[in-house]
Amino acid sequence: MKWITHQAGALAAGVWFQAGTTLCASLVFGAVLPDLIEHAVSRGNKAVFLRIHRGFLHWFGLYALALAAALALPLSPEEQTLAVGSLLGAISHLILDGLNPSGVPLLPFRRKPRLAANLVATGSLGEYCLLAVLLVLIALGAYRSDASWLQRLAGTL
């Protein structure tokens, strides 16, 4: 998946479940976190990135453990919102990558078995259709939480 699709998926979930602004922002950040970490680890080396991409840093267990830690640590409410939102966003990233033919690992440090539904290839028409559906869900979720935004938008046109 492209980053925009990951971010739209996380934002759609946040808006649909009427999360606050801080939680939505952290979801969107977390939605690209696995790839951001891989880019940092590879230090701009494309060969290294391609070798590690969708490996251990795309394993569900890593983010589930981090989420459990974030919930258990004595964090302030704001810190907990940022941590939990970022980790839930990362998990949404893995779910969407699981729709890809390459998938994500089910076990740490192993290439197989993988969760690979083979439904949406990166950059395909299917991904752009999924992105369109996510954008509609964002708009519907925003409308559901505050219908007046559409009236204000219509008034400016």
Contact assessment for residue 66 and residue 123, using Cβ atoms and an 8 Å cutoff: no
The pTM of the whole model exceeds 0.85: yes
The residue extents of the domains of the chain are 3-156
Q: Which one, of 93, 90, 96, lies nearest residue 119 by Cα? A: 96
* DSSP labels, 53-77: TTSGGG-HHHHHHHHHHHHHS---H
Query: What's the mean pLDDT in 153-157?
Result: 67
99 vs 60: CA distance, rounded Å: 14
Q: What is the pLDDT of residues 85-123, one digit of tens each?
A: 999 999 999 999 999 999 999 999 888 999 999 999 999
pLDDT at 1 exceeding the cut of 80: yes
Banded pLDDT at 30 (limits 50, 70, 90): very high
What is the sign, positive or negative, of the torsion defined by CA atoms of 127, 130, 135, 136? Answer: positive
Q: What is the pLDDT of residues 43-57, one digit of tens each?
A: 989 999 888 889 999
DSSP code for 105: E
